[in-house]
Amino acid sequence: MPSRYPQKLTGLKDDRRVCSLAQLAALSATRRSLLIMGEWVKVSRLAAIGSALGVGLMMTLPGVAHADSGCAYQGNDRACFINYSSSSSSLEVCDNEADGNGVYAVFYTMYIQYEIKVGDGNGSSAGCGTRTWSHGVHHFKICEDDAGEDTCVWWEG
């Protein structure tokens, strides 16, 4: 029996909730809504919000010709970055689950020349782990420090 809702979003990094603004723009031509955190959201609304945030970011960064950013989720835990240039970025990791498992992310430059590990030191309490880095981020993974091998999700722009 066909569903009255759009098909589940596929083809994104192990079918996880990872989506760049470029992917979101491409999806807007083929899909009307996406399932995000258990709720259906109109793609046009997400694209408009993302565009407004991108324009706002560029307006607050004088002299920056290009700024990449991205977020990835492992469950409700989140890791994000903003590249201000190839030699400057802001990193953030948030443990949003009161499950006793720590959360960290490992950020990498292109060709994995450099890496930095950032965690949320206060667990699921208010606030996130943040760092500035003297490199631009090319890809990263967010991991939950759970029993056995850590559960990780990759983001690649």
Q: pLDDT for 21-45, tens place per residue?
A: 445 445 444 555 555 544 555 555 5
Distance, CA of 7 to chain centre? 22
Cα dihedral 16, 139, 59, 73 sign: positive
Q: Are 73 and 142 in contact (CB under 8 A)?
A: yes
Adjacency order of strands within the sheet including 69-74: 69-74, 77-85, 88-94, 129-133
Q: Which helix (H) or strand (E) holds 58?
A: helix 43-60
> pTM of the prediction?
0.58
* Confidence (pLDDT) at 32: 57
Joined together, the tokens standing for residue 62 give 């004088």
pLDDT mean across residues, the chain = 74
Judged against a pLDDT cut of 80, whether residue 10 lies above it is answered with no
Cα separations (Å) of 39 from 33, 35, 36?
10, 5, 5
Please report, in angstroms and rounded to a whole number, the separation of the first and last CA atoms in the chain.
36
In 14-97, DSSP assigns E strands to: 33-36, 39-42, 69-74, 77-85, 88-94
> Rounded to whole angstroms, how far apart are CA atoms 66 and 129?
25
pLDDT digits (tens, 9 = 90+) for 40-73: 555 555 544 455 445 444 444 443 334 499 999 9
What is the average per-residue pLDDT within 121-149? 95
